[in-house]
Amino acid sequence: MLAATSTTMTEAVWYAIRATGVVALVLLTVTTVLGLLSASRVRTRRWPAFAQVDLHKRATMFALVFLGIHVVASVLDTYVHVGLVSVILPFTSSFKPFWTGLGAVAVDLLAAVAVSSALRQRIAPQLWRSLHWLAYACWPVAMAHALGAGTDAGQLWMDAIAAACTIAVISALAWRIVDHRTTREGAVRVGATTRAVPERHLPSTRRPSTTTSAASATRLLERDSR
């Protein structure tokens, strides 16, 4: 009886590890895509900026919840021993050290992003932005961990999920790169146009005042007289 109960618990924990890992990967993909689209300032009337930011925060929160359950289940699993230390310190696990270590790296990166976001009002904006970029590094590491350490890797449904997540992230990244390049080229054109506008067509705030011109002429005359 006890053996059957123990086996059932072990199977339940094993299924929990697999399920929460896949869900956490999908939610991390959603978070990454929304972050890239937010950086590209993608807006519509039906999907304003505040809704996009709110969805990004909620997806991140749920990703952290499922990741936490995934980590706890991995530590409690008696069939494959991972250990709490191996969850924090990468590449110290006896079970698939490299692939499990990548999972620990993803946990550490996402934890750094979560802590920096919680302390956003108390740290410098540049420091927060630098730490927030770790979220983009977290996604490929988590994907490699899922495909390398996951027992479902190679299954058709898992390969389909991995392919869909990869296509979504690559598409959002390509959009971000094109948008950044277009914005930069537009800024350069605006700057060139502004420099090409004759002085009489410039706004009054950008025209040199008569007083300034007179003062400059006076200084030139004084310099010549010396």
pLDDT tens for 179-206 read 767 766 555 666 555 555 455 554 555 4
Tokens, residue 141: 């590491």
In this predicted structure, the answer to whether residue 226 has a pLDDT above a threshold of 50 is no
User: Which of the two residues, 220 and 170, has the higher pLDDT score?
Assistant: 170
Mean pLDDT score, 22-43: 85
Residue 194 CB coordination number (10 Å): 10
What share of the chain has pLDDT > 70, as a percent?
72
Tokens, residue 97: 């050290």
In this predicted structure, the answer to whether residue 31 has a pLDDT above a threshold of 80 is yes
How far is 61 from 68, CA to CA, in rounded Å?
Answer: 11
Please report which residue ranges of the chain form alpha helices under DSSP H.
Answer: 2-39, 49-76, 84-88, 97-118, 125-132, 134-149, 156-196, 210-225
What share of the chain has pLDDT > 90, as a percent?
35
> Closest Cα to residue 40, out of 183, 186, 179, 133?
179
Cα–Cα distance list, 101 to 45, 87, 150, 190 (Å): 43, 8, 13, 49
In this predicted structure, the answer to whether residue 221 has a pLDDT above a threshold of 50 is no
How far is 24 from 48, CA to CA, in rounded Å?
Answer: 26
| Average pLDDT value for the chain | 79
Buried b (16+ CB within 10 A) or exposed e, 197-208: eeeeeeeeeeee
pLDDT tens for each residue of 80-120: 778 888 888 999 988 889 999 999 999 999 988 888 888 88
Identify whether the C-beta of residue 103 lies closer than 8 Å to the C-beta of residue 149: yes
Identify whether the C-beta of residue 92 lies closer than 8 Å to the C-beta of residue 110: no
Tokens, residue 192: 């060139």
Mean pLDDT score, 124-134: 83
> Looking at 7-16, 70-79, 177-186, which range is the least confident one?
177-186
